[in-house]
Amino acid sequence: MLTSTNTNQSHSEIVQADPTNPSWLTQQLRTVGMLDNDHYIQSLESKTIGEEVGFLSETKVMNLNYNDDQPHLLHQLLLKETTKNPQFKEVGESLNAFEREILFYQNLAPSFPIRLPHVYFTQLNSHHKLLAMEYLSSLEGGDQVKGLTHRQVQNIIENIGKLHAHFWQDESLESLSWLLKDSARMSQTFNDNFDNCIVLATPIIGIKGVKLFQQIQTNFDWMIETVKHRPYTLVHNDLRADNILLNPDNEKEPMILDWQLAGRSMGAFDIARLVGGSEINVQRKGHQLELVRLWHQVLINNGVSNYSIDDAWFDFKLASLYFVILSIRLYGYGQNYMRKGGRAAKLFPTMVQRFFDNAIETSALDILQ
């Protein structure tokens, strides 16, 4: 949906916070030194993008028109706000997701070894939670339904592996109380409605899938406890195709977005989320260990020690089992989206099928006690 807003308002007065108000945006850009007093936003157009992509947020592209247009002025930005979907909004608020992403960009992003979009300004109060970011129109968004190719997954692993190595066993992460912790994230996976979720998903996963689920559920407390004692690093926690920008000019430099669930945990969670949930099944089958070896080699090449390929493969299997459970929960949450048809009707079933297939193909149940 495309909306336009014009203003004739004086730009010396204070305006109430409103991301669609040209005067308010003018003030924000002046505050961060991106706009001088001789220029102001005369009108803007906003277009919502990724309406069936993001679960915990909504994103708009803002096209800015000035009183005296100049090439050096910012003409586009990405505005990210909390979702209006009541179910996913409740999940986001329970996890402090939006607050976490703002703190991530303020505290961790500046030291990153990989490229991230530039953040122009943020707002975090009882009225508004938003991020105004660089709009990278030359990059192409990944598609969770379509899936990623084997080569695209390899490139993403090479990038996220550098990040994992950079923060590997970094004790400073423990002082960042806003990072998502293993116990909080995993313990919230089950809820009162979970039995209904598995019933809804049974036509997709079949009896074999139900039995797989039941074995994981029986061992879930052991899984939570085991994760606590594995090597940790900074993790994205939602590394999937929809959160990736692909660079058509340089395939080796994909960009990873949406850090609302950033946490301190096993790096293998990111690899299992990516490989198990986003790679096209026919390209992934039989190649999971190859991809884990690639990730492990990136870690070693960037200074990680005392972490064997056997350790990496164990952690990948452990994480893969967790995402089987998580996919069922998301499938339950996604029912309202699916009833509307469109992309969502394919997204949630595809996600469930991929994660279950990945766990079966890798014999992930073998690690359970």
- For each of the chain's 369 residues, which pLDDT tens digit applies? 444 555 544 444 445 578 889 999 999 999 999 999 999 999 999 888 765 555 677 889 999 999 998 999 999 999 998 877 766 677 767 778 889 999 999 999 988 888 899 999 998 876 678 899 999 988 999 999 999 999 999 999 999 999 999 999 999 999 999 999 875 566 555 555 667 778 888 888 888 888 898 899 889 989 999 999 999 999 999 999 999 999 998 999 999 999 999 999 999 999 999 999 999 999 999 999 999 999 999 999 999 999 999 999 999 999 999 999 888 888 877 777 777 778 878 888 899 999 999 999 999 999 996
Per DSSP, 118 falls in state P
Residue 53's pLDDT is 53
CA quadruple 48, 51, 55, 59: dihedral, nearest 10: -10
CA quadruple 317, 319, 324, 330: dihedral, nearest 10: -160
Instruction: Please tell me the distance from the alpha carbon of residue 134 to that of residue 64, in angstroms, as a whole number.
Output: 13
Token pair, residue 7, equals: 């203003």
Could you give the C-alpha distances from 83 to 91, 237, 239, 314, 343, in angstroms and in order? 10, 19, 19, 35, 18
Could you give the C-alpha distances from 212 to 65, 318, 366, in angstroms and in order? 55, 13, 11
Instruction: Please tell me the distance from the alpha carbon of residue 329 to that of residue 322, in angstroms, as a whole number.
Output: 11
Residue pair 168/160 in contact by the 8 Å Cβ criterion: no
How many other C-beta atoms lie within 10 A of the C-beta of residue 110?
Answer: 8
Please name every residue paired with 148 in a beta bridge, in sequence order, or none if there are none.
Answer: 279
Work out whether strand 180-181 and strand 263-265 pair parallel, antiparallel, or are unpaired.
parallel
Q: Region of 174 please: left (phi>0), alpha (psi -120 to 50) or beta.
A: alpha
Domain ranges of the chain: 2-133, 140-367
Residue pair 279/285 in contact by the 8 Å Cβ criterion: no
Residue 186's pLDDT is 65
DSSP-assigned letters across all residues of 162-221: HHHHHTTT-GGGGG-TTSEEHHHHHHTS--TTHHHHHHHHHHHHHHHHHHHHHHHHHTHH
pTM: 0.88
Question: Among 117, 135, 116, 142, which Cα is nearest to 60's?
Answer: 135
Token pair, residue 128, equals: 């508004």
Assign a CATH topology to domain 140-367.
Aminoglycoside 3'-phosphotransferase; Chain: A, domain 2 (3.90.1200)
Phi, psi dihedrals of residue 36, rounded to the nearest 5°: -85, 175
Residues 6+ apart with CB under 8 A from 292: 268, 271, 309, 312, 313, 316
Distance, C-alpha 283 to centroid of its chain: 23
Residue 10's pLDDT is 44
Could you give the C-alpha distances from 261 to 57, 81, 183, 271, in angstroms and in order? 12, 15, 13, 15
